[in-house]
Amino acid sequence: MITFRRAQASDLPDIVAMLADDPLGAGREDASVPLARGYVDAFDAIDADPNQLLAVAVDGGEVIGTLQITFLAGLSRKGAWGGQIEAVRVASHRRSGGIGRLMFEWAIAQCRARGCGRVQITTDKGRADAHRFYESLGFTGNHLGYKKTL
Amino acid sequence: MITFRRAQASDLPDIVAMLADDPLGAGREDASVPLARGYVDAFDAIDADPNQLLAVAVDGGEVIGTLQITFLAGLSRKGAWGGQIEAVRVASHRRSGGIGRLMFEWAIAQCRARGCGRVQITTDKGRADAHRFYESLGFTGNHLGYKKTL
């Protein structure tokens, strides 16, 4: 029985471990405990922001997944709110078991409950498996995502 | 002399007029005054949020451009903040005069001043002119942006 809830400070080491356990994350995260100050500060900023929802998926008390939703106010479309889903991870020993789909369905429901008119995500251009997954969830990929490192 | 500042409630009719004056916006916005309640509510939500910056470009007291920056707290990259730029518009009679570039340079500087480690935008896949523009500003387009209407 997998459940979802808002992340608590005590979940932070598990969440950071999942962020680090991924080809990109391995090179840019540091899951050693005590956690680097940046993680704790970021958690506090997210937790204090009513338009941010950092969540965990839990199975029998074990944290097995995480994602972050940002609720975005904007003027476009007559002031419609949008939801943005980022930093989605499933614990490596639980991948390919349909948990990612449950997490997205839960996240989309959170966006709907907040009155969002749309949900958006970005994903690497080369990840054809992820593209099929998002399309199966009803997303359409008509945009390019640009990033610039400062 | 073009200057930039945080948008005020009195700028809202000018901003919505720019959102509506564009092929996509024409079909989904309503610039009639008094403005629809959704715009006013969205402005209030943006204005009250310390992680949102709705800005206008002004020339001689006239509002000639608008953009919105969202400052995003996140755990990834050891808790680095990100900046997201959206809803960028230049008044139709001032397009092709380099104002868009000034606006992006100003927005990127705002992100840097807030300590963001990256800036992100999404744009329609088919807009080759926009892609060249973002690349000229140092952005790389390695992501696909997916959206789902709720």
Task: State both tokens at A113.
Answer: 């409950």
Residue of chain A with shortest Cα separation from B147: A120
- The confidence score (pLDDT) of residue A6 equals 98
Record: contact B78-A29, CB cut-off 8 A: yes
Cα–Cα distance list, A10 to A51, A93, A130, B95 (Å) = 21, 21, 30, 51
Choice between B14 and A127, residue whose per-residue pLDDT is larger? B14
Which own/partner pairs from A105-113 qualify as long-range (CB within 8 Å, at least 24 positions apart)? Answer: A105/A137, A106/A4, A106/A55, A106/A57, A107/A55, A107/A67, A107/A69, A107/A83, A108/A83, A108/A137, A108/B148, A108/B150, A110/A53, A110/A55, A110/A69, A110/A83, A111/A69, A111/A71, A111/A82, A111/A83, A111/A85, A111/B150, A112/B150
The Cα of B108 is separated from the nearest Cα of chain A by a number of Å equal to 9
pLDDT at A55: 98
Q: Measure in Å the smallest separation between the Cα of A59 and chain B Cα atoms.
A: 22
With CB atoms and an 8 Å threshold, state whether A72 touches B75: no
Question: B104: which chain A residues are within 8 Å (Cβ-Cβ)?
Answer: none
Separation CA B16–CA B14 (nearest Å): 6
SS3 category, B118? strand
Distance CA B147, CA B150 (A): 10
Are A108 and B145 an interchain contact pair (Cβ–Cβ within 8 Å)?
no
Q: pLDDT value at position A25?
A: 87
Which tens digit of pLDDT belongs to each residue from B24-66? 888 999 999 999 999 999 999 999 999 999 999 999 999 999 9
CA B19 – CA B17 distance, rounded (Å) = 5
pLDDT tens track of chain A, all 150 residues? 999 999 999 999 999 999 999 888 889 999 999 999 999 999 999 999 999 999 999 999 999 999 999 999 999 999 999 999 999 999 999 998 899 999 999 999 999 999 999 999 999 998 899 999 999 999 999 999 999 999
Asked if A86's CB is within 8 angstroms of B36's CB, the reply is no
Give the ipTM: 0.94
Count of Cβ atoms closer than 10 Å to residue B146 Cβ? 25
Nearest CA in chain A to B20: A76
